[in-house]
Structure formats: C-alpha cells, structure tokens
C-alpha cells in the first residue's frame, strides 16, 4: 500500500542529503569483502557445467557412464536429475529448462549436464567423457528472421497470444501487446509533416564484472544452505526450492557482496545446479562461471527491430505517434521486455493519439533477462531519433519541440494512467538553461539530447532494527545492496532516530533470519526498503518512548521523541530530565528486555521518473572513431538521500548507455554461435574512454514517500542511446538507425553519404 503521509516540504534534514563515507568502502578496496566466489566449505567439490555447442539441437541421449567412473568424480547430473515439480507454472518450468536443457538445447551454451569432482582438472576431464547425442536443427537468431513464416520454430506449441483470432499455426511470436489511446489514423491526417523510420539494435549484456558464483551444501535430511551473488536471495531460495522439490524453509540462502548486477542477477542459473550436484554428491559444491559462460548462458537484453511514425503540425504539435517494437526473448515466451518497450516508448509526450505495438519473439539466443529499465532504452532510441529529425524539419530547436509536447501533470500517459506530479518539464527546462547546452562545439563535434522515462515500483520489504545496550543500531535488511543502499538505509534510520550516521550499521540478512524481501530491482530499494527502515525506526521510537514513560511513571502518549531523546510531551506530563537513546538502551535489560523495531511492508506509490541527457561527441571522419567529449545527466530524484550515490547511479546508467550506443553488441556467426564472448571482443567503455559525466539532481518530491524519494537506478540508462545517436547525426550529417554506432558502421555511413551526395539514413 502507499504511505498516506506525503513529504513535508518544509522539513529540515540532518542526515538525509549529506554525503557520508560508504560503509562497504574499506572492505572493498582492501579485498576483505566476500564476493560469490570467495565462499568456501569444508570438503567442497568443484562443479562444472557441460554446455551445448549448437544453437538448436534435439538431445537424443546423454551417456554419463564414463564420466561417473572417473576417479575423483562424485556426481554427474543431467535433465533426469530435475524431475518436474513445477505444477503447471510455465514460467518456473522455463527457468528449470534454462538451467538444464530437457528435450532440446535451445541456444549455444545451454547447459546439458554437470559434474562435481575433487579438482578442476578432473571436473574438466569428466565433462569431456560425457557423450551427448545431438540432432542438430535449423536455428534463428535475428528477430526479423524469427518472425518470418518460414523460420525454424523453436516451440511447436507456441501460438501467438494477443492476436484475434488466435493463430492455428505455431510460430516464434509468443505475444503481441498493444497500448495507446485516441485515433492514430485521424491524427496523421491532421499532420503537416510525418517522419517514418525503422531501427535495429543488437543485444547487449549487463556486463557486471563479477561472474555468477554459488556454493551449495545439501544434507541427506533435505536441508540446504546456499551462498551466492544475486540481486535477490529470497527469489533464489523460492525458485531453487520449487525446482528441487523441497520445502522453502529448508533452504537458507546467504547473499554475498555483489560485483554488479544491473538486472542480470534477478533469476537463477547455476544455483539449482550446484544444489542438485551437492544433493547427489552429499558434499558441498561450488560452481563459478567463466566469462565465456556468462556471455553465452546468462541473460543479455533483447535485440530489437522497430518502426516509428510520428506526425506534427507546422506549429510543432504532435498529432499522432505510432510504433511497432519487436524484441527477442531468447527461447522462452514472456522473457523479452517488449511490453515495457511499447509502454515506455512515448511516455514522455502529451499525446492525444498514440499506439504502440510490442512483439515478444523467440529465437536461439540465451534467455533474455532484465537490464536496467528493461525494454525502454531501445524504444527511446527509436522514438527520440525521430523526434530530433522532426524538430529539424520544423526548423524548431529540438529542446523547444520537446518542451512543447512534454507530458505534464494531468497528461494521459501513452500506456494509460493519468500522470500526477512529474518532473519531466523541469528536467527539460534545466537542460535548456544548463551551461553545457550553450557551450561552443569544436570541429567534427555534434551535440544531441534525449529525454527518457521509467516506471519504478515498490514491492515487499521486511526490516528489523536492533538496539543493543550501548545504543548503537544494527539494521537488518533483506535487499541486496547493489548500489549503495546500506548507506541510504542507515541515513534514513539515523534521520528518524535523531542520531548520527556513524551510530547505525546495516547488514544484509540471510533468508532464514528475516521475512521475505523482493529482488533488488525496479529502482525499488531506497524507496521501498528505505520506507520499511523509516517505519521500523518509528516502531523502535514508540518502544523507546514507552520505556521512558514506564521509567517516569507517566502515560506513553505523554512522551515525545526529539533529536535522539525521549522527553515529556509538555508541561502537564511532568518535569523529567530527557532520556537519551543510549540511556534507555543501557537500562533496557531492567526495563523490559531488548528493544527492537520491525516493519513488514508491500510498498506502492513509487512514482515515475524522467531524465534529460545532453551529449557532445567528436567523430574522426576518416576512421569513424567516436569520442564522447562532454555528457550531462539531469534527473528527478524526488529527494536524494545520499547525493553521491544518486550521482553514481546517473553516471553508471549513462556509461552503460554509451557502451550500448557505440560498441557493445552480441555478434552471431551463421552457425548461431556467439563470436565475441569476452571483454576483449565485446567492448564496454572504460574510464579512459569517457569524460567525467556531469550530473544535476532535481528534487521534485514523490508524494508516495515521507521524504519524497523516487527510485533513480534505471532511468539514467534510457536516454543515452538516442542522445548519442542525435549527437552523431549532428556531427556527421548522417542519421544512424542501427546500433551500435561502431567505427566501421559510422565510417560506412559517412562514405555512403558522400557517395550518394546526400544526407541519408544508415
């Protein structure tokens, strides 16, 4: 439920809004922090996974007999070790199919067997002794090819959902979504100018530095422990328990420090495999992915193909917007974020006539997993590229065109609901007035901009707050800290209790120590878990006041809490010396025992988020090489709890977007195999590639949070693709409609334009 107390705009904060040192900093820079692969257990075995070399193949049989006989091998598992406990839950069945192939291998790198052995060498040798009899099938990796009527069909029981009448022929199109309102055709009739273009983007990986790692220990009595790096250890517990057919309460999952997730660690890959190996070997088993496995077998985002058509009057008012968004989901239905691409594509505009159609398409690629604002960056690239082109055709400054058509309070969003108070207009005005926008450009440089949107959500959180006898505070949360949330949690608790940040420490509790917490995703943690922290602190304050009241012999409601002290609420309550948190804590053994605050919550009211980005790029006209020379992120954070972390989120999203726009891509050979499964060939930006990303935090309070907080983790990856494409177009005179805009593609675009003697799309 949403909190009913809207933020007090006049509130003065003591801790929130400051920039204290991060609590995990020293451990991380000194190497003391324990990441997934750092977990160890006595007698642990090495787990290794055999993966399909084929993009699409029927598995006729798997012979593990030779591997099982190899000295040092303690367990070999295949599909036969995962009986179907999914009870008709198709999503869970697909997750199980993804972690261990069943009838078919559906992409190169799909797990087909696994071993547990005493050494890595023996494990590798055992994998070679497993004989898999494959019947290689035709494959398809391109989204447009996968939608053709003659494409190899991955699932012959797949009949497109959302089409009337439902097709009788199986296809790779799992679902069709349609959003919008008004009459698009009528809107286009009123338009003076229409721009219509098609776009393609390649799949990119979340690119976290830490590969997946899991250590599993399962006892013969069926109880189990698991240590792993994940964005949601409660999700890991629930999914693994259901796949393995054990009670959820018998599996205890502890989350390690995490070396990046960005949405890619919101599901399971090796965790059920490690547990199944441990169950069979009766020994702890550790599985750590190689980088090659991370690229081939964990989730990239979708590759896409999109058509956009937007019409405007000569005065610069958009009359209609129409888009079709085709997204790859890997081999299973419901995995692509096509619906969120379609829903978010036009969300930054005030539109009377809008239609967005999304297609979720199967292909022989790894199962698509969320990546920061899933589905939105690609759609935004396409739409904001057309917006920029329309502005030029109108002879209007692109910023003024966007301001004129911007969504505002009362706008019916392109996905349906009417907006409340939103910050898009403020980010656009701030961009227009930013020094970056007026700075001169050098030779071969171009400037672009884009505005983007993301939904944000809340979800379930559970927090415990313990006050030991010295009055310091331990906050137990169940949301993995992937972006500095521990600091934010401590700050909000300190703010409520009226004490210093250094008096509060936060830990990430394991799944048996605290109630359920949803995955850290959807930009939810500072908003939702933070709100649970605030309410747990208020619960503790109530108990602290009760102890003071009992000590003074006055009613509980005659005590108030101010700046870390219990005080009589007024003159009628009596004349008592205020009691500090430390005094009440020290007396607690004799006044009723331990003092703790708790809150369990399902938070809603997260509030949508908007950002505007400005990018300057320089293009080497002879090589096509590009360099970002200046970049500015302007985003509404509602209220920045720890501004440095907020800025870090803005910068991180921008950098990932820069990589997506300029270099990152999954490259498939004709054989359906990934050609660049490593950071040497899959080029993510490094510090030397980038300028310092400038940031501007706007604070337009979210009425759904007592401090006005909005999630900030995802929106910042939405505008960069388009902002950079618009900057490249300005620098080269060529409109690029395919990502990445790598040097060869830019050079070809420049040369083609020269050859044709005209500016054109590339």
Partner 1 sequence: MAKVIVWGSLKPHTGGKTTVEIEARNVQELLARLGETYPGLQNQIKRGVSVSIDGLIYREGWLEPLKPDSEVFLLPRMQGG
Site residues (vs partner 1, CB under 8 A): 1-2, 91, 161-166, 175-180, 206, 262-264, 266, 334, 337, 339-340, 343, 355, 357, 370-374, 415-420, 455-460, 521-524, 602, 604-606, 608, 704, 713-714
Residue-by-residue DSSP string for 345-357: TTTTB--SSEEEE
> Strand pairing partners for 698?
636
Angle at 459 between CA 457 and CA 462, to 5 degrees: 140
- Residues paired with 406 in a beta bridge: 349
Cβ 355 to partner 1 shortest distance, Å: 8
Between residues 406 and 747, which has the closer beta carbon with respect to partner 1? 406
H-run or E-run covering 341 = helix 338-344
> Residue 72 Cβ, how far from partner 1 at the closest point, in Å?
40
What's the closest the beta carbon of residue 277 comes to partner 1, in angstroms? 29
Least distance from partner 1 to the Cβ atom of residue 141, Å: 23
Give the torsion through C-alpha atoms of 404, 409, 412, 414, to 10 deg: 60
The pair of three-digit structure tokens given for residue 313, joined into one six-digit string: 């009057």
Nearer to partner 1, 107 or 340 (CB): 340
Rounded least distance, CB 337 to partner 1, Å: 7
Sheet holding 57-63, edge to edge: 104-105, 57-63, 131-136
Choice between 178 and 502, CB closer to partner 1 = 178
Distance CA 698, CA 708 (A): 12
Query: Taking the complex as a whole, how short is the minimal distance between the CB of residue 84 and partner 1, in angstroms?
Result: 18
Complex with partner 1: residue 356 or 491, whichever CB lies closer: 356
Q: How many CA atoms lie within 13 A of 568 on its CB side?
A: 12
Indicate the residue among 211 and 377 with the shorter CB distance to partner 1: 377
DSSP string, 281-331: HTS-EEEE--HHHHHHHS-B---EEEEEEEEE-TTS-EEEEEEEEEEEBTB
Cβ(348)–Cβ(294) under 8 Å? no
Q: In the complex with partner 1, which residue's Cβ is closer, 496 or 714?
A: 714
Q: Smallest distance, Å, CB 452 to partner 1?
A: 14
Q: DSSP secondary-structure letter at 368?
A: P
CB of 97 or CB of 415, closer to partner 1? 415
Residues 6+ apart with CB under 8 A from 148: none
DSSP state of 679: T
Nearest distance, CB of residue 164 and partner 1, angstroms: 4
Nearer to partner 1, 4 or 315 (CB): 4
Cα of 547 vs its chain's centroid, Å: 43
Are 345 and 423 within 8 A, CB to CB?
no
Q: How far is the CB of 325 from partner 1 (least distance, A)?
A: 13
Which of 588, 702 has the CB closer to partner 1?
702
Name the minimum Å distance from CB 416 to partner 1: 4
Of 39 and 345, which has the nearer Cβ to partner 1? Answer: 345
> Minimum distance between the CB of residue 714 and partner 1, rounded to whole angstroms?
6
**What are the phi and psi torsion angles at 185 (to 5°)?**
-60, -45
Nearer to partner 1, 416 or 592 (CB): 416
What is the Cα–Cα distance from 348 to 354, expressed in whole angstroms?
12
Choice between 114 and 709, CB closer to partner 1: 709
Give the nearer residue to partner 1 in terms of CB position, either 165 or 570: 165
Least Cβ distance, residue 83 to partner 1 (angstroms): 23
Distance in Å, CB of 528 to partner 1, minimum: 10
SS3 of 34-94: CEHHHCCCCCCEEEEEEECCCCCEEEEEEECHHHHHCCCEEEEECHHHCCCCCCCCHHHHH
Least Cβ distance, residue 87 to partner 1 (angstroms): 12
Name the minimum Å distance from CB 177 to partner 1. Answer: 5
Q: Rank residues 78 and 266 by Cβ distance to partner 1 and give the closer one.
A: 266
Place of tokens 């210093």: 500
* CA trace torsion 510, 515, 516, 520 (10° rounding): -60
Measuring CA to CA, how many Å separate 332 from each of 50, 108, 113, 144?
A: 21, 15, 20, 17
Number of CB atoms found within 10 A of residue 435's CB: 8
Ramachandran quadrant class, 759 (left: phi over 0; alpha: psi -120 to 50; beta: rest): beta
Q: At its nearest, how many Å lie between partner 1 and the CB of residue 601? A: 10
Tokens, residue 590: 């004799």
Torsion, Cα of 141, 343, 682, 98 (10° steps): -50
Cβ nearer to partner 1, comparing 195 with 342 = 342
Give the nearer residue to partner 1 in terms of CB position, either 544 or 654.
654
Write a three-state SS string for 394-458: HCCCHHHHHHHCECCCCCECCCCCECCCCCHHHHHHHHHCCHHHHCCCCCCEEEEEEEEEECCCC
Which CB, 123 or 378, lies closer to partner 1?
Answer: 378
Cβ-contact 78, 100 below 8 angstroms: yes
Radius of gyration of the chain from its Cα atoms, rounded to whole angstroms = 28
SS (H, E, C) 525-567: HHHHHHHHHHHHHHHHHHHHHHHHHHHHCCCHHHEEEECCEEE
Residue 374 vs 478, nearer CB to partner 1? 374
In angstroms, what is the minimal distance from the CB of 412 to partner 1? 9
CB of 555 to partner 1, least distance (A): 33
Length of the chain, please?
762
How many CB atoms are located within 10 Å of the residue 762 CB?
19
């Amino acid at each position: 439920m949403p909190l009913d107390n809207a933020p007090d705009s006049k509130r003065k904060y003591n801790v929130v809004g400051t920039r204290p040192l991060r609590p995990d900093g020293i451990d991380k820079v000194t190497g003391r922090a324990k990441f997934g692969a750092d977990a160890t257990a006595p007698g642990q075995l090495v787990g290794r996974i055999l993966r399909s070399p084929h993009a699409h193949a029927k598995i006729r049989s798997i012979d593990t007999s030779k591997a099982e006989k190899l000295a040092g091998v303690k367990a070999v598992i295949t599909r036969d070790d995962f009986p179907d406990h999914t009870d008709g839950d198709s999503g869970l069945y697909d997750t199980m199919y993804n972690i261990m192939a069943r009838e078919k291998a559906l992409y190169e790198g799909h797990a087909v067997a696994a071993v547990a052995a005493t050494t890595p060498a023996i494990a590798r040798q055992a994998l070679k002794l497993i004989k898999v009899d494959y019947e290689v099938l035709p494959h398809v990796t391109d989204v447009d090819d996968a939608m053709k009527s003659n494409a190899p069909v991955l699932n012959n029981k797949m009949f497109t959902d959302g089409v009337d009448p439902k097709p009788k022929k199986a296809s790779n199109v799992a679902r069709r979504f349609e959003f919008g309102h008004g009459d698009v055709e009528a809107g286009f009739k009123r338009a003076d100018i229409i721009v219509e273009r098609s776009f393609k983007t390649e799949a990119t990986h979340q690119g976290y530095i830490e590969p997946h790692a899991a250590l599993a220990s399962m006892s013969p009595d069926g109880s189990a422990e698991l240590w792993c790096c994940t964005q949601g250890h409660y999700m890991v517990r629930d999914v693994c328990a259901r796949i393995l057919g054990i009670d959820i309460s018998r599996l205890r999952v502890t989350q390690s420090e995490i070396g990046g997730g960005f949405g890619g660690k919101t599901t399971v890959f090796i965790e059920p495999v490690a547990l199944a190996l441990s169950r069979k070997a009766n020994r702890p088993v550790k599985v750590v992915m190689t980088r090659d496995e991370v690229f081939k077998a964990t989730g990239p985002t979708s590759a896409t193909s999109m058509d956009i058509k937007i019409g405007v009057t000569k005065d610069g008012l958009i009359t209609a917007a129409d888009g079709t968004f085709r997204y790859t989901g890997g081999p299973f239905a419901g995995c692509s974020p096509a619906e969120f691409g379609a829903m978010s594509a036009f969300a930054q505009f005030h539109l009377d006539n809008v239609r967005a159609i999304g297609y979720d398409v199967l292909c022989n690629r790894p199962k698509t997993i969320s990546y920061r604002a899933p589905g939105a960056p690609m759609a935004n690239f396409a739409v904001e590229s057309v917006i920029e082109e329309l502005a030029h055709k109108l002879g209007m400054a692109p910023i003024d065109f966007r301001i004129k058509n911007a969504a505002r309070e009362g706008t019916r969003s392109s996905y349906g609901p009417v907006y409340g108070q939103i910050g898009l207009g403020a980010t656009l005005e701030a961009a227009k007035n930013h020094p970056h926008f007026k700075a001169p450009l050098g030779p071969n440089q171009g400037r672009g901009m884009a505005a983007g949107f993301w939904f944000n959500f809340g979800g379930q959180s559970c927090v415990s707050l313990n006050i030991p006898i010295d009055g310091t505070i331990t906050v137990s949360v169940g949301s993995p800290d992937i972006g500095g949330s521990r600091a934010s949690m401590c700050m909000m608790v300190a703010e409520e209790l009226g004490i210093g940040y250094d008096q509060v420490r936060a830990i990430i509790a394991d799944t048996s120590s605290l109630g359920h917490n949803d995955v850290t995703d959807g930009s939810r943690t500072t908003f939702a878990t933070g709100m649970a922290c605030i309410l747990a602190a208020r619960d503790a304050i109530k108990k602290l006041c009760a102890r003071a009241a009992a000590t003074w012999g006055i009613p509980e409601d005659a005590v108030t809490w101010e700046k870390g002290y219990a005080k009589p609420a007024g003159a009628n309550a009596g004349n008592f010396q205020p009691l500090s948190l430390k005094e009440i804590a020290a007396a607690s053994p004799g006044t009723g025992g331990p003092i703790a605050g708790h809150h369990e919550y399902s938070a809603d009211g997260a509030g949508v988020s908007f950002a505007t980005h400005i990018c300057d790029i320089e293009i080497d006209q002879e090589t096509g090489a590009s360099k970002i020379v200046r970049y500015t992120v302007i985003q509404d954070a509602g209220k920045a709890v720890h501004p440095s972390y907020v800025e870090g989120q803005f910068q991180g999203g921008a950098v990932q977007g820069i990589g997506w726009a300029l270099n990152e891509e999954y490259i498939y050979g004709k054989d359906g195999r990934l050609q660049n499964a490593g950071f040497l060939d899959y080029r993510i930006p490094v510090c030397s590639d980038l300028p310092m990303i400038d940031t501007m935090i706007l604070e337009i309070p979210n009425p759904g949070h007592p401090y006005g907080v909005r999630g900030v983790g995802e929106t910042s990856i939405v505008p960069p693709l388009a902002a950079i494409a618009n900057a490249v177009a300005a620098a080269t005179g060529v409109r690029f409609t395919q990502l990445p805009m790598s040097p060869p593609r830019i050079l070809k675009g420049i040369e083609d334009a020269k050859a044709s003697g005209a500016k054109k799309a590339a």
